[in-house]
């Protein structure tokens, strides 16, 4: 089945130690998103890739970076995790069309829960 896969499901890191979360998809969607979701809150968009074009949200901290080496994979790098970065990180994909920007459904992965010690 076509899907969005996130690894690992749970990640523990130390304060200040760089960590990378990964996302892959078999849907061949051209748009990929990263969201941060804290407990009992809505997902907050960090950034997205429209094809190879990176789009950062204005309030996303510089501590968060992303890479998309090819259509299938996208990575979230947290350069120096703080205690406040502990959250669920959700990857999503959609089939984007510049004529109907973001009208397409997003498909979400199961998420990676990050714990910062």
Partner 1 sequence: GNSVTQMEGPVTLSEEAFLTINCTYTATGYPSLFWYVQYPGEGLQLLLKATKADDKGSNKGFEATYRKETTSFHLEKGSVQVSDSAVYFCALNPLTFGKGTMLLVSP
Task: By CB under 8 A, name the binding residues for partner 1.
Answer: 4, 6, 40-43, 45, 90, 92, 94, 101-111
Smallest gap from Cβ 16 to partner 1, in A, equals 27
Q: Which of 84, 81, 77, 87 is nearest to 114 (CA)?
A: 87
Q: Give whichever of 21 and 90 is closer to partner 1, judged by the CB atom.
A: 90
Smallest gap from Cβ 63 to partner 1, in A, equals 21
Q: Give whichever of 51 and 80 is closer to partner 1, judged by the CB atom.
A: 51
Quick check: 25 and 110 in contact, CB under 8 A?
no
Q: Give whichever of 77 and 101 is closer to partner 1, judged by the CB atom.
A: 101
Alpha carbon distance 90, 9 (integer Å): 10
Smallest gap from Cβ 80 to partner 1, in A, equals 26
Contacts of 95 (CB under 8 A, 6+ apart): 27, 29, 30, 31, 104
């Amino acid at each position: 089945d076509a899907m969005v896969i996130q690894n690992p499901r749970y990640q523990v890191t130390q304060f200040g130690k760089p960590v990378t979360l990964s996302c892959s998809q078999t849907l061949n969607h051209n748009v990929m998103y990263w969201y941060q979701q804290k407990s009992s809150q809505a997902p907050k968009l960090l950034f997205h890739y429209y094809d190879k074009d990176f789009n950062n949200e204005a309030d996303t901290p510089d501590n968060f970076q992303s890479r998309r080496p090819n259509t299938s994979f996208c990575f979230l790098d947290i350069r120096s995790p703080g205690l406040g970065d502990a959250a669920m990180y959700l990857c999503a994909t959609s089939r984007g069309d510049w004529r109907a920007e973001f009208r397409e459904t997003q498909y979400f992965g199961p998420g990676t829960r990050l714990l910062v010690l």
